[in-house]
Amino acid sequence: MTAQPYDLVIRGGTIGTASGTFQADVAIRGETIVALGQGLASGTRDIDATNKLVLPGGVDAHAHIEQVSAGGLLNADTFESATASAAFGGTTTVMPFAAQHRGLDLREVMNDYAALARRGAMIDYAFHMIVANPDAKTLATDLPELIAEGHGSIKVFMTYDLMKIDDEPLLDLLLTARQGQALVCVHAENHGMISWMGKKLVAKGYSAPKYHAISHPRGSEAEAFTRLIAAAALIDQPIMIFHVSTEEGAAVIRTARGQGLKVFAETCPQYLFMTRHDLDKPGLEGAKWMCSPPPREKSDQDALWRALALGDLQTISSDHAPYRFDETGKLSAGREPNFKQIANGLPGIETRLPLLFDALVSQGRPEFTGRGIEAFVELTATAPARIYNLPRKGAIQPGYDADIAIWDPRRQVTITDATMHGRTGFTPFSGRVVTGWPERVIVRGRDVVVGGELKGEPGMGRWLRRTGGWAATPTGRLAPEMDPATNFGASIL
């Protein structure tokens, strides 16, 4: 019996995984990797990857796409433009948000975002459900049903006037997530400290974008992390803390994980490569560097790299939040806004992987000496796929989806506004020179980007049904107040 031929063989490259590198061919049949080895039989198509790195496509687990803000602003990127931009940067799976705002029905919100993605996405995707309206219907009906249907994670905000969830409803939501075994992802900052600082600064005339960088006190992060972790420990609900920006915040997470609590955490390129001084530009120019939490200090960058190396932080996402530098985005409040009136967020879905490849592989961060490729793959693909329960993503091995980025490790590229493929019109990393760039990107065996040309088509991306998986499974270590054996027999959970 003649073996079924391969549809595609990527030949002669160096395969990078989270545990090592080796030279081998990659054989693909249909949408799936079916074999790794040397001297594999020819496929219907062969790609010569000699002197190239063959890496799993990136998994960007935190991106805002075609999303309406609480203030009514629409992101600059559509699902079509954002996922094309992601593919040009080597990302093949993205996890954006379906954002419920106050008074909205979560089921209707989910349906609306799913329809947008079906029409436009060029790469595969899964949703986080943002909950800002934790009413009885959301908690008792919509969330349990949507979790069961394959949306395995929830996001909440502990700050922003129109989004924040206070301590008691946060506990309700953590309990709902525990019952459905969904992972809870949190933007954790102390709302009172931020609100107070912002009002004081503006009242005294400190209104330029650079003052945004000090309006979010660094202590607001560590305090909120501590409070969030205490609430999650009471419920025994695993959590993911988004966009860690400070040394103190990373230390809180290190302590919690050392106590055996199920706390996961990420950071983003803006906190690894930018500082608050990037916002100090003439006029309103600094608005292009505004995000929340804001970039901090060089010492925080070093602390975050150490935390990544130690495993305190497990992933690096983009937190892609694209707003144009015009009246549709950053300047929606007019030509003389104060920093409180300027939309927060940076485009980053395309630059995430090239910046990190340059730092980890080409330049060689000292924290990762001797394992730059392995760290790059782990932090940007394998770990997010594992934590968010995407079992066919994030690795190159038989049985996995054929999501592959072929990198030229020697190619030097200057990042500029003009070279980006999104609709924001600028990148905060303009002018940076990086070494290493993805020259061919494949999603489930299909070319999406080849030699700088877009080959993907809107709608070819696929929704990824998933449960919360192992990361969302409670530890079973009950707080004394929750354990019937020690709380006089009360059954609360």
Per-residue model confidence as pLDDT tens digits over 367-419? 999 999 999 999 999 999 999 999 999 999 999 999 999 999 999 999 999 99
Q: How confident is the model at residue 14 (pLDDT cuts 50, 70, 90)?
A: very high
Q: How confident is the model at residue 1 (pLDDT cuts 50, 70, 90)?
A: very low
- Tell me the C-alpha distance between 139 and 118, whole Å: 26
Using DSSP, state whether 235 is helix, strand or coil. helix
CA angle at residue 153 from 148 to 159, to 5 degrees? Answer: 135
pLDDT above 70 coverage of the chain, percent? 99
Q: How confident is the model at residue 251 (pLDDT cuts 50, 70, 90)?
A: very high
Mean pLDDT in residue range 421-429: 97
Largest CA distance in the chain: 82
Mean pLDDT over all residues of the chain?
97
pLDDT at 274: 98
Evaluated on CA atoms 333, 334, 335, 338, the torsion sign reads negative
Task: Kindly report, residue by residue over 257-282, the tens digit of the pLDDT.
Answer: 999 999 999 999 999 999 999 999 99
pLDDT above 90 coverage of the chain, percent? 98
* Closest residue by Cα to residue 94 from 74, 113, 71: 113
* Closest residue by Cα to residue 463 from 177, 240, 153, 150: 150
Q: Pairing relation of β-strands 404-414 and 433-443?
A: antiparallel
DSSP 154-202: EEEESSSTTTB--HHHHHHHHHHHHHHT-EEEEE---HHHHHHHHHHHH
CB 271 within 8 Å of CB 244: yes
Mean pLDDT in residue range 454-474: 98
pTM, rounded to two decimals: 0.97
Cross-strand bridge partners of residue 23: 14
Q: How confident is the model at residue 3 (pLDDT cuts 50, 70, 90)?
A: low
Mean pLDDT in residue range 136-148: 98
* Closest residue by Cα to residue 63 from 461, 433, 367: 461
At the top level of CATH, the class of 58-388 is alpha beta
Q: Determine how many CB atoms are found less than 10 A away from the CB of residue 108.
A: 11
CB 119 within 8 Å of CB 79: yes
